[in-house]
A and B are shown apart, each in its own frame.
Chain A
Amino acid sequence: MSETPAQNRDTGADSTDWPLWEVFVRSRRGLSHTHAGSLHAPDAELALRNARDVYTRRGEGVSLWVVPSAAITASSPDEKDPFFEPAADKPYRHPTFYEIPEGVKHL
């Protein structure tokens, strides 16, 4: 690699300069986009291309979304109990009182 001037690595942009993007992959038509991971990219167009290279190289997808990580509002782990526990003792919210008809998939 003696031909690559050392300056490349010194002046190359650090990936921490680039915003983080969350990647969602739709594995086939009819299914929803699923979170696959995250990556750095300077803008949305390149984020899409990076996502193509990082997350769909083995034919995993037919469609990609990228979303700026900063645009996601997430629930806080500290609020886990008030957020989620009240749902635990309300079995009538679960559709467990029905027989699932034969032949219905993806339910």
Chain B
Amino acid sequence: MTQTDRQTQTTAAALALGDDALVLSHRLGEWIGHAPVLEEEVALANIALDLLGQARVLLSLVGDEDELAYLREERSFRNLHLVEQPNGDFAHTIARQLCFSAYQHLLYERLAHADTVFTPLATKAVKEIAYHLDHARQWTLRLGDGTDESHTRMQNAVDALWRFTGEMFQPLPGLTIDWQDLRDSWTKTVTGVLGEATLTVPTGPQTGAWSAGAGRQGLHTEPFGRMLAEMQHLHRSHPGASW
């Protein structure tokens, strides 16, 4: 592999990881003004800001961060299907966060110990992500092992999102990671939390019928287009606006 190939792969990996962080950040930001309580709104906004910070570093490795965030079409985004899923009820938001933060924590831990262009970011971000994971875990425990209503909602959320979890372990060529080991550790973490929360680990498939790495190839689920329209609207209507 030539130096240029390697560079291209690294850039592609940075774009994928950056898009994960950017898109989930936007989804979490959608709770602002709508969260069940003020304290939780602050917590979700904090997580969103951490992710946005990570996205800025990663997208800057690829090109101009604003252009990448605001001027790309849907097909050019490389994020996972999981992170683009709508917030749904609070249980859906927490289930999505649990699945993603568990993955991101394991991945960034590995990136922090490898000597790559991602190492400085991963070393810093892994502490932020540990908190995101803890937040999601605390809520999963309380909702799962809470009232009948909260248990049902949390179980529904995990069941609904389960089919988006397989895509996370599609190898990203630019990263030297033992993906099977990552998957095993993820499964151990997540099934552990679900068990503790008295929830049933879904038995269904972890990928949809046609979704073999779809988000990573630029094919997205239907709600993503609407999310993007809202996210990009201001920048596209007023190019170069600043305040």
Contacts and interface: CB of A to CB of B under 8 A. Distances in A.
Q: Is the interface of B mostly helix, strand, loop or mixed?
A: helix
Given A2-B226, A50-B43, 5 more contacts: A3-B86, A8-B88, A40-B37, A50-B39, A53-B39
A81 B223 CA distance: 64
Interface stretch (A27-35, A41-49, A69-77, A87-95): A41-49
A15 B37 contact: yes
A94 B206 CA distance: 71
A5 B86 CA distance: 10
Given A46-B138, A54-B42, A4 B87 contact: yes
Interface of B: 30, 34, 36-40, 42-43, 46, 86-90, 134-135, 138, 142, 149, 223, 226-227
A53 B43 contact: yes
Contacts, number: 61
Interface of A: 1-5, 7-9, 11-15, 18, 39-43, 45-46, 49-50, 53-54, 57
29 contacts: A1-B34, A2-B226, A3-B87, A3-B226, A4-B30, A4-B34, A4-B86, A4-B87, A4-B88, A5-B88, A7-B89, A8-B88, A11-B149, A13-B37, A14-B37, A15-B36, A15-B37, A15-B39, A39-B39, A42-B142, A43-B142, A46-B138, A49-B43, A49-B134, A49-B138, A50-B40, A53-B42, A54-B39, A57-B46
B42 A50 contact: yes
